[in-house]
Structure 1
């Protein structure tokens, strides 16, 4: 039974319950939109105050050396890399997801000269679709699309023409989690290189990019990482590719000797060449501060909490919302869910507007999808039950 007593018992036994105090969630708000913008981490305001008042205010340009600003893209990149399952020296933080994806798609395609097909998820996030189409035009590739359930077959159908495959780890509409390891292996069997967008997975789902042989991964810092609005993105490139990386965006930060100011570009060693332009220090260090909450967190435990929340959510929907026009869109199987639950309803827009007025913040994807992000660091089972009760009262 999905009762208040059942929710309270689950919350009493929650090993991550204490993590709630690490976030500044406004009183009276049940925040279910962390898959779009994570809640503010409690340590961020003071960290930014110090960066502005002490580092920038007192050290001025000396902050690049005295305060470690110059190395921050690599240092923060390695912190994110831990959440990706990546060994140090393969991840860079900075720029936007769009920039990182463009850079990675082109670099990946250049690793497979003579091949001319770029295969992408037919229902991918719009930015990913726009950029894949642009890269295909620029490089003279044939852009093919395939639904994710048919992606493995589409990879095989490309034959020896496949250069790059790209998709999102979690479907942004439905919250379905795809088989990264299996599809990466299928890409490699076809002779291609894979680029995963893990924006809706990093910080919520344990990833293993090194173990799974993933070539490239990109993602944002403002969803489950809670790095703040417009937080820097990140790019991962497997070490085996570093000596052959020929990315299109060759900014001065990625130069082997950036302060020599030579007219010709010479790439830095290793992942350093994946740096592009001057980093946005304030937002990068806000992200760095937000990542502190993951220190000491076992991602397997966080995943277990997320699954517990979503299982309870599904049980609540079954018990309290049956016959009220709702459809469960997210898969019921644990292994197929990310940290998001999506419900279909013909009045999705009206319902979410009313929910937000009542203090329950989720979001809508047209035409009829209600999305609820389930961040196990600051959500409780009691809040899930309250959310479903609120939905019931509106239908």
Structure 2
């Protein structure tokens, strides 16, 4: 091979060059969370890195990567003055400017890769001669670096992935983190899953987390499977009232079939003939709808809505207006003691105490008899 220069994106060449037998020696100033993919070291290798408190706080060196290498059996040393980026194997030397991080993969970088034995020996001597190094052991990770909850979770994940498990169990890994950090780590977990291709069993009580992250969702109830399927299918057709509650369907009312329509505590549910079709008189059912599918009108406008026959309409009283997710108004309507949430209002001047009607497209209704979904079929 001789001596070659690689840039402006040298990491694929570096990664290939260091996949050799024998001990590898690396002095890499800074490590990102992607370092183990870019720099695949193994047990017995030596890595010197700038893991000073300043480097970690500035997010130049990732404690996740440090823990990954340490648990893989790499001897990891920290030098606070290190700025070089060099690697020596038993045959090759890499000399250049590339840190082992995602930012380095998109920056303009350049390295020289050589099999010149004098240069290989010089790089090895340079790494061996780095002074003021500290062993990165468990005490270093626990005490020298103040780890946030998110960093602790990242380290735990790195330690699990280093063994390349056939299946990875993640038991509520994000439950103790604040909302913004949970969203950030969800994205990170999905990115790692795409990059590494492992199978994960992710346990959560957060329906949004389950639907966003899962390729398949399994909803458990008292130790048994209640529902299983792709997220879109599970969300659209929860098979039971229990599944509907878990999936965030908040609006619910008990109804009864009578004279070809449904009745609730507030009286006739206008526009419900399609829902009552084929059902027995006095049959009792549970009706669920999502707040996102629910509109609220002033009462007179609402009466006009059900004349069109494409929505069910119920009359009630506006109880409260609150600021919901994303800064959107949520309208809480009292329907004979049942509190319904509506995300859409056709009159922005509505006030608590106003007589209103709520309208929901028939196609958006979920209707259950006991534990079974009977509409849609």
Give your verdict on TM over 0.5. no
Q: TM-score, normalised by structure 2?
A: 0.20
Q: TM-score, normalised by structure 1?
A: 0.19
Give the structure with the larger strand fraction: 2
Q: Larger Cα Rg: Structure 1 or Structure 2?
A: 2
Looking at both structures, which has the greater relative contact order when contacts are Cα pairs under 8 Å and sequence separation is at least 6? Answer: 1
Give the structure with the larger helix fraction: 1
